[in-house]
């Protein structure tokens, strides 16, 4: 069963059945998403699955070829009739933030508000909301990556959009600062109470920021749900594998069992053919044994336990867990918690 999010409430940003091609290449093949006010929806998937194209269709930066874009019950785009990007009440923050280098932070945020009543007060309010009041007179090159990010967000939000689109907002920020900045960004976005759709290819980022995660494959949303529901009841390999530290093994389904390099697992109701087993983090545990079937190829501390790697029957190494250090070259037996194994047929 494919689980997709199809609540489609009136007060939401809704993209229905979006198809899009670049020449003969299909980028989107019937993708549907919804984000409600105050909600952060993360679009997650590998490069080339259509995440950014879907965002650009929502913003009007790509012409709609098939499907519809709606906001708060009003149509923004259907084939042949589209609201121009500049007239859509939607903010867009690009990967590189695109701040004007010759303008101060204050003037960057105010850009586009010429002639708008109360513009100065709105700019001050956004600078305050994004903790930029003391940086208002600085230029972009005088800011850190996180400060540039907040300035770009302030510029998008000062127009009071009803939805905000973020395309990999941490792509140009070094890894050491991302965790803190994620926490800051989520707090600031939740305070704005707009519908947020954010593209990411980082699973930790999607789990840290998203109220819901929409998992994409080959131009479609294959599953969507809150992180807890994806953890407890994944319906696709993408959902089961999103949690860092797990493992995925290909295999063959025969007579209701999936055969893999680590053994066989129940595959009830699945037709014979190729399949995949996804192991939840910590589901595969190692125990030292002189007669063990497997040999440790690598061992490293991963706090609070140890991450060990074995290579069963050739192929790629498999990560297993241990509460204690087991040295490289030692033999081990593996125990697998069946509650942490999810089996799917390949599609």
The verdict on 212 and 252 lying in the same domain is no
| Beta strands at 273-279 and 341-345: parallel, antiparallel or unpaired | antiparallel
Domain for residue 197, yes or no? yes
Residue 4 in this model has a pLDDT that exceeds 60: no
Query: Cβ–Cβ contacts within 10 Å for residue 40, how many?
Result: 22
CATH code where residue 84 lies: 3.40.50.300
The secondary structure of 8-45 as a DSSP string is: --SSSEEEEEEEEEETTEEEEEEEEEEE-TT-EEEEE-
Domain span holding position 322: 246-345
pLDDT of residue 9: 59
Residue 141 in this model has a pLDDT that exceeds 80: yes
Evaluate whether 198 touches 39 at the Cβ level (below 8 Å): no
The verdict on 324 and 204 lying in the same domain is no
pLDDT-above-90 percentage for the chain: 76
The verdict on 68 and 170 lying in the same domain is yes
**Would the pTM count as exceeding 0.85?**
yes
Domain for residue 121, yes or no? no
- CA dist 127 and 143 (Å) reads 14
Chosen domain end from 211, 238, 265: 238
Domain count across the chain: 2
Domain for residue 112, yes or no? no
The residue count of the chain comes to 347
The verdict on 76 and 170 lying in the same domain is yes
Of the pLDDT bands very low, low, confident and very high (cuts 50, 70, 90), residue 172 is confident
Q: Is 239 helix (H, G, I), strand (E, B) or coil?
A: helix
The verdict on 325 and 218 lying in the same domain is no
The verdict on 285 and 314 lying in the same domain is yes
Domain for residue 145, yes or no? no
Domain for residue 105, yes or no? no
What pLDDT digit, counting tens, does each position of 232-266 carry? Answer: 999 999 999 999 889 999 999 999 999 999 999 99
Chosen domain end from 171, 204, 238: 238
Give kind and range of the element (H or E) at residue 181.
Answer: helix 175-192
The verdict on 334 and 209 lying in the same domain is no
Domain for residue 311, yes or no? yes
- CA dist 200 and 243 (Å) reads 14
What pLDDT digit, counting tens, does each position of 200-237 carry? Answer: 989 999 999 999 999 999 999 999 999 999 999 999 99
The verdict on 230 and 270 lying in the same domain is no
The verdict on 58 and 181 lying in the same domain is yes
The verdict on 253 and 202 lying in the same domain is no
Helix, strand and coil content of the chain, in percent to the nearest 5, comes to: 25, 35, 40
Q: Which of the residue ranges 14-18, 163-167, 179-183, 283-287 would you say has the lowest mean pLDDT?
A: 179-183
Q: Mapped to the 3 state alphabet, what secondary structure does 76-145 carry? A: EEECCEECCHHHCCEEEECCCCCCCCCCCHHHHHHCCCCCCCCHHHHHHHHHHHCCCHHHCCCCHHHCCH
Chosen domain end from 238, 263, 298: 238
Among residues 295, 179, 237, 223, which one has the least CA distance to residue 32?
Answer: 223
Domain for residue 225, yes or no? yes
pLDDT of residue 2: 41
Work out the average pLDDT over 28-36: 97
The verdict on 227 and 282 lying in the same domain is no
Domain for residue 123, yes or no? no
């Amino acid at each position: 069963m494919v689980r997709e999010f199809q609540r489609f409430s009136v007060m939401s940003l809704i993209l229905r059945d979006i198809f899009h091609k670049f020449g003969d290449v299909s980028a989107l093949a019937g993708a549907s998403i919804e984000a409600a006010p105050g909600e952060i929806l993360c679009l997650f998937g590998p490069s080339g699955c259509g995440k950014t194209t879907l965002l650009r269709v929502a913003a009007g930066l790509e012409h709609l070829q098939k499907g519809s874009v709606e906001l708060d019950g009003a149509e923004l785009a259907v084939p042949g009739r589209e609201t121009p990007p500049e007239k859509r009440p939607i903010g867009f923050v690009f990967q590189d933030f695109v701040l004007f280098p010759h303008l101060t932070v204050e003037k960057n945020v105010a850009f586009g508000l010429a002639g708008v009543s109360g513009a100065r007060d709105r700019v001050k309010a956004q600078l305050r909301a994004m903790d930029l009041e003391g940086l208002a007179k600085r230029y972009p090159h005088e800011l850190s990556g996180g400060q540039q990010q907040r300035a770009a967000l302030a510029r998008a939000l000062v127009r009071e959009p009803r939805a905000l689109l973020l395309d990999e907002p941490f792509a140009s920020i070094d890894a050491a600062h991302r965790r803190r900045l994620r926490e800051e960004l989520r707090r600031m976005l939740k305070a704005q109470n707009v519908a947020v759709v954010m593209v990411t290819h980082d699973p930790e980022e999607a789990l840290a920021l998203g109220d819901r995660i929409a998992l994409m494959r080959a131009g479609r949303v294959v599953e969507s749900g809150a992180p807890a529901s994806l953890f407890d009841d994944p319906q696709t390999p993408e959902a089961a594998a999103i949690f860092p530290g797990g493992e995925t093994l290909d295999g063959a389904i025969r007579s209701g069992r999936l055969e893999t390099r680590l053994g066989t697992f129940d595959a009830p109701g699945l037709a014979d053919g190729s399949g995949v087993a996804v192991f939840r983090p910590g589901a595969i545990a190692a125990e030292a044994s002189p007669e063990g079937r497997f040999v440790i190829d690598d061992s490293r501390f991963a706090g609070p336990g140890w991450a060990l790697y074995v290579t069963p029957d050739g192929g790629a190494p498999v990560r297993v867990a241990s509460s204690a250090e087991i040295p490289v070259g030692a033999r081990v037996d593996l125990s697998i918690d069946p509650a942490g194994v999810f089996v799917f047929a390949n599609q």
